[in-house]
């Protein structure tokens, strides 16, 4: 077994480092929790997205015919690890589009949908920013119980209902919306469809939800008599559940690679800080750091295995869930370790990177406060454990 990347992937890694030095602020990893959702930072993020698009890096893994580079597994791993390590902006904001909307459209979108949306996403245009409308106030883990209705009226659907926790809805041009199209289906999973909704429709109302740190990241969306052409149906009517499962698999495959990069960066920052502040002899902190180092390495091997299996066309029924589970636990551990190391300085609230007592730009307080939410995003940690139990160990379904 060879743990080294090949020459092409190493070259790409070097090019990405050069890009970071030239185009980004170098230390986004330490400021992203504070700024990534301000208007000013959004503009900066989209500028970087366009520069990444020029190099076709925004959609590196997409086939060339759709504006990607058809990257190899190694290139994909090398690139996204760097994205995480340097927290390259632009990749995350468009992630619904590049990560799962685009790849899903390639699989089950119409020719017109592909021709219209894939170039917009791949170009880093703000018209290629999407949000994902799955969760509702009464439907989260049990997503198939969703009740937002799309009723057919001639060659249009009329949509009414509410979504919640919708990341970036206030930035998005399009919504990847899960709706109920057949309330009478004998199985609740069989009455769901996926529909593309224009966020500029006057019947779409977006309201902010502020997270634990007071930042605006996710939203509620209200749909009132929103009329959408039937041509915006993605895949087959009432087969949306099965399309969503595929889109969720794409979604869960996106973050773990860059997460291994960002975890390593956080660890490097913490070790550096511990040395600088003379805390390296504190036995408890050393143990935390050692635990982090071991777990990051273990998570990386798991993620590499998943991507390798996927690229070899082998089934990955539980691997993405295992990787998200590891990611969730490690994120929490990093938040705890970081705030322990920083000590009483970590109590400066609200998180304020410009306060003279703030250490490491408040990044670890940011992680500490975000980690409970990140456990829920893209399916909760417990849901992932249920999937590993069922699909990996052959245990019965939990519900
Ligand atoms: C940062 C963030 C970003 C998000 N972005 C989006 C987005 O862009 N679009 C979108 O649609 N949604 C988004 N979500 C919502 C997310 O998908 C849901 O929060 C998640 O699916 C859980 O649903 P819920 O919040 O309704 O919790 P519930 O499903 O009510 O779960 C509550 C608790 O019960 C547990 N639980 C539920 N069922 C079981 C079971 N069978 N076995 C064991 N335990 C169970 C859960 O693990 C959880 O701990 C986001 C959430 C966060 C935090």
Per-residue confidence (pLDDT) for residue 33, from 0 to 100: 56
Per-residue confidence (pLDDT) for residue 75, from 0 to 100: 94
* Same domain for 321 and 200: no
The rounded Å distance from CA 376 to ligand 1 centre is 5
- Ligand 1 lined by 218 (C-beta under 6 Å): yes
Alpha-carbon distance of 115 to 320, in angstroms, equals 30
- Ligand 1 lined by 144 (C-beta under 6 Å): no
Q: Which residues of 231-263 are buried (b: 16+ CB within 10 A; e: fewer)?
A: ebbbbebbbbbbbbeebbbbbbbbbbbbbbbbb
* Same domain for 214 and 251: no
- Ligand 1 lined by 90 (C-beta under 6 Å): no
**Using CA positions, which residue lies closest to atom 35 of ligand 1?**
382
Candidates 94, 140, 170, 321: which one to mutate for ligand 1, based on the most atoms within 8 Å of Cβ? 140
The rounded Å distance from CA 68 to ligand 1 centre is 32
Point out the domain boundary residue: 105, 127, 149.
127
The rounded Å distance from CA 85 to ligand 1 centre is 27
Question: How many domains in the chain?
Answer: 3
- Is 142 inside a domain boundary? yes
Alpha-carbon distance of 152 to 397, in angstroms, equals 34
- Ligand 1 lined by 100 (C-beta under 6 Å): no
- Is 94 inside a domain boundary? yes
| Block mean pLDDT (10 aa), the chain, length 399 | 85 94 73 65 88 95 94 92 88 80 96 97 94 97 96 98 95 97 95 98 96 87 98 97 92 85 94 94 92 96 91 91 94 95 82 80 88 91 95 88
Per-residue confidence (pLDDT) for residue 65, from 0 to 100: 94
- Ligand 1 lined by 96 (C-beta under 6 Å): no
Per-residue confidence (pLDDT) for residue 303, from 0 to 100: 93
Contact 325, 388 (CB under 8 A): yes
Point out the domain boundary residue: 97, 127, 157.
127
Point out the domain boundary residue: 185, 204, 238.
238
Per-residue confidence (pLDDT) for residue 164, from 0 to 100: 98
DSSP H helical segments within the chain, as ranges? 7-23, 28-35, 39-54, 73-86, 95, 102-108, 111-122, 240-276, 283-311, 319-342, 363-376, 381-387
- Is 2 inside a domain boundary? no
Q: Which two tokens stand for residue 389?
A: 């139990």
- Is 1 inside a domain boundary? no
* Same domain for 363 and 253: yes
* Same domain for 196 and 158: yes
Q: Which two tokens stand for residue 157?
A: 């659907």
**Using CA positions, which residue lies closest to atom 6 of ligand 1?**
166
- Is 397 inside a domain boundary? no
* Same domain for 361 and 267: yes
Angle at 252 between CA 75 and CA 187, to 5 degrees: 140
pTM value is: 0.93
- Ligand 1 lined by 372 (C-beta under 6 Å): no
**Using CA positions, which residue lies closest to atom 16 of ligand 1?**
377
Per-residue confidence (pLDDT) for residue 26, from 0 to 100: 62
Q: Which residues of 387-397 are buried (b: 16+ CB within 10 A; e: fewer)?
A: bbbbbeeeeee
| Residue among 345, 381, 353, 351 nearest 369 (CA) | 351
The rounded Å distance from CA 381 to ligand 1 centre is 9
* Same domain for 266 and 211: no
CATH of the domain at 322: 1.20.140.10
Which residues pair with residue 219 across a beta bridge?
166, 208
What range does the domain containing 224 cover? 129-238
- Ligand 1 lined by 379 (C-beta under 6 Å): yes
Per-residue confidence (pLDDT) for residue 212, from 0 to 100: 83
The rounded Å distance from CA 143 to ligand 1 centre is 9
Candidates 37, 133, 134, 135: which one to mutate for ligand 1, based on the most atoms within 8 Å of Cβ? 135
332 is catalytic: no
* Same domain for 58 and 38: yes
Q: Which two tokens stand for residue 347?
A: 């109590």
DSSP labels, 237-302: TTBHHHHHHHHHHHHHHHHHHHHHHHHHHHHHHHHHHHHHTT-TT-HHHHHHHHHHHHHHHHHHHH
Contact 317, 391 (CB under 8 A): yes
The rounded Å distance from CA 133 to ligand 1 centre is 13
251, 319, 332, 365: the catalytic one is: 251
* Same domain for 372 and 252: yes
């Amino acid at each position: 077994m060879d743990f080294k990347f090949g020459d092409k992937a190493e070259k790409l890694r070097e090019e990405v480092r050069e890009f970071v030095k030239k185009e980004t602020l170098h230390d986004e990893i330490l400021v992203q929790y504070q700024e990534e959702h301000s208007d000013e930072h959004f503009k900066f993020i989209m500028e970087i997205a366009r520069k990444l698009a020029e190099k076709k890096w925004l959609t590196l893994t997409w086939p060339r015919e759709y504006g990607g580079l058809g990257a190899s597994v190694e290139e994909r791993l090398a690139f996204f690890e760097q994205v995480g390590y340097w927290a390259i902006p632009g990749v995350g904001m468009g992630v619904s589009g590049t990560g799962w909307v685009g790849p899903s459209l390639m699989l089950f979108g119409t020719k017109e949908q592909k021709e219209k949306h894939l170039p917009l996403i791949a170009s880093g245009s703000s018209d290629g920013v999407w949000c994902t409308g799955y969760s509702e106030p009464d439907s989260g883990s049990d997503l198939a119980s969703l009740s937002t209705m799309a009723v057919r009226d001639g060659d249009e659907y009329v949509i009414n209902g509410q979504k919640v926790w919708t990341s970036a809805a206030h930035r998005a041009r399009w919504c990847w919306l899960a709706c109920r199209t057949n309330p009478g289906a004998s199985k609740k999973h069989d009455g769901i469809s996926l529909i593309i909704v224009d966020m500029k429709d006057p019947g779409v109302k977006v309201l902010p939800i502020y997270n634990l740190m007071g930042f605006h990241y996710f939203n509620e969306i209200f749909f009132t008599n929103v009329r959408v052409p039937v041509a915006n149906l993605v895949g087959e009517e009432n087969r949306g559940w099965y399309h969503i499962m595929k889109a969720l698999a794409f979604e869960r495959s996106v973050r773990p690679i860059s997460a291994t990069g960002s975890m390593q960066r956080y660890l490097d920052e913490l070790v550096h800080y511990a040395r600088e502040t003379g805390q390296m002899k504190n036995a408890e902190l050393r143990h935390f750091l050692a635990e982090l180092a071991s777990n990051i390495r273990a998570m990386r091997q798991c993620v590499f295995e998943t991507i390798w299996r996927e690229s070899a066309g082998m089934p990955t029924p539980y691997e993405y869930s295992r990787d998200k589970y590891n990611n969730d636990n490690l994120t929490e551990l990093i938040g705890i370790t970081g705030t322990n190391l920083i000590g009483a300085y970590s109590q400066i609230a609200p998180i304020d990177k410009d306060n003279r007592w703030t250490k490491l730009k408040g990044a670890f307080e940011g992680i500490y406060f975000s980690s409970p939410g990140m456990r829920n995003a893209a399916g909760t940690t417990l849901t992932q454990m249920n999937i590993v139990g069922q699909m990996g160990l052959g245990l019965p379904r939990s519900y």
